[in-house]
Structure 1
Amino acid sequence: EMLKNLDLYEGYAIDARVISTITCEIKKNDLKGDYPTRFVKIQAMYNDKGILSSYKLYIEDNKVIVDISLETNVPYELYLFPAIIAIFYVGLIYLIYSKIIKT
């Protein structure tokens, strides 16, 4: 809701219906040096934490030229189980080592 109320420069738009996005439209010959040579639209999508998750580069007729996803969905189990196993082995090695030193 806060993003909708921002006063942005002409050519920028915010859509927060489903995923927060900021869109920038650059018209042909809109920048210095007669660039770009055609209409370009850049769309940045943010996750619910406000972190950039992906962005896309469009030209006319909503043709996607570049689509880059920055977000990875790595489950926590991928790190949790190896960490538990490592702690178990370190504890086991410590117990064995302490028994050897005591005897």
Structure 2
Amino acid sequence: MSYATYFPDNVKLTGEESDMKHFAGCNYASPVTIWGKPEGVRKGVQVHNRILKKLVAANRVLFLDMKNRMPKDSTLFCDVCHVSEPGAQHFAHEIVQFIIRQKAL
């Protein structure tokens, strides 16, 4: 499964409390700067997802591209990578539908 993120468009995230206005308003959220500079975090996840896709292609295993299945919607994310309650419901729904489509069970 690829990693889904939400980086708000045209927003320079700083790690400050004011960043949270761009997300769902969860009780618990992590500033992007906990992992590094925002642009580095975004690039790191992109590289990670690229590597995952190469591994999947080389090993012919099932792969859910959650990066492209999760809508880029602020109500679904508590911060750049953690989902809100509605986000978790959407995330779980995508997994269930993938299992059904792939007849994995």
TM-score range, shorter chain: under 0.3
**Structure with the larger helix share:** 2
Q: Give the TM-score normalised by the residue count of structure 2.
A: 0.24
Larger % of strand: which? Answer: 1
Structure with more relative contact order (C-alpha pairs < 8 Å, separation 6 or more): 2
